Amino acid sequence: MALIAPHIIPHPVGEIVDEDYFGAISSRFWLGSDYLGRDMLSRVLMGARYTVGISLAAVSIACFCGVVLGMTAAVVGGWLDAVLSRFLDAMNSIPGKLSGLVVVAAVGSSISVLIVTLAVIYTPGAYRFARALAVNINTMDYITVARTRGEGIFYIIRSEILPNITGPVLADLGLRFVFIVLLLSGLSFLGLGVQPPYADWGALVHENVGGCRSAPPPSSSPRWRSPA
């Protein structure tokens, strides 16, 4: 949906097309219009591109870093494992929303800042998950065989461990994606996420919250998808 959104939106996304604001659902505006009279359906569809795109980028970075670090820690062990684990545990202890707010408030909001912030917040979880899996695999005899063969750490990680943890890691990636969507929508709702004139689902709720009483359909339609 997000991919083909530009081709299926019924009205240009930034243009005021309705003569009324908070217009009701009609055959022209399937989800009504927003506080400026823009078509809600178009904005929701285009908003998905921000929500999904940013979350996907963030989750990919988080899982890539987490999984690589987790496997390295499990295979190398010793002080590297101890230092990495304690450091990422410490990061994990800071509430995600809070650190997100602080970073965005301090650095300012742009899409790249959002992606990096979200990725950093979710890396420790991915690390923990991958490390736990890799530690189990690391005790298997085939890892010992590879070590006695004289294989390096990179080979062990890439060829012996990674193929055996791909399934659970992908499942974890899916879950983590959902959490990131949630956090991103939260940030946007608070006005710290995607900035106008662009809007993701969280920002759409934020923009139209004023119409909540008078015109429920447009103000609530983004929320059908985004529980922010």
Binding footprint of other proteins on the chain (CB under 8 A) = 140-142, 144-145, 147-151, 159-160, 163-164
Residue with tokens 């083909």: 4
Residue closer to other proteins by CB (options 27, 148) is 148
**Rounded to an integer, what distance in angstroms lies between the CA atom of residue 62 and that of residue 36?**
37
Q: CB of 58: closest distance to other proteins in angstroms?
A: 28
Residue closer to other proteins by CB (options 26, 159) is 159
Closest CA to 162 of 60, 67, 66: 67
Q: CB of 136: closest distance to other proteins in angstroms?
A: 11
Q: CB of 149: closest distance to other proteins in angstroms?
A: 6
Q: CB of 53: closest distance to other proteins in angstroms?
A: 32
**Rounded to an integer, what distance in angstroms lies between the CA atom of residue 179 and that of residue 174?**
9
Q: Which two tokens stand for residue 21?
A: 């604001």
Q: CB of 205: closest distance to other proteins in angstroms?
A: 44
Task: Give Cα 141 distance to the centre of its chain.
Answer: 37
Q: CB of 144: closest distance to other proteins in angstroms?
A: 6
Residue closer to other proteins by CB (options 154, 224) is 154
Residue closer to other proteins by CB (options 121, 143) is 143
Residue closer to other proteins by CB (options 28, 158) is 158
**Rounded to an integer, what distance in angstroms lies between the CA atom of residue 116 and that of residue 112?**
6
Determine contact, residues 136/201, Cβ cutoff 8 Å: no
Residue closer to other proteins by CB (options 1, 145) is 145
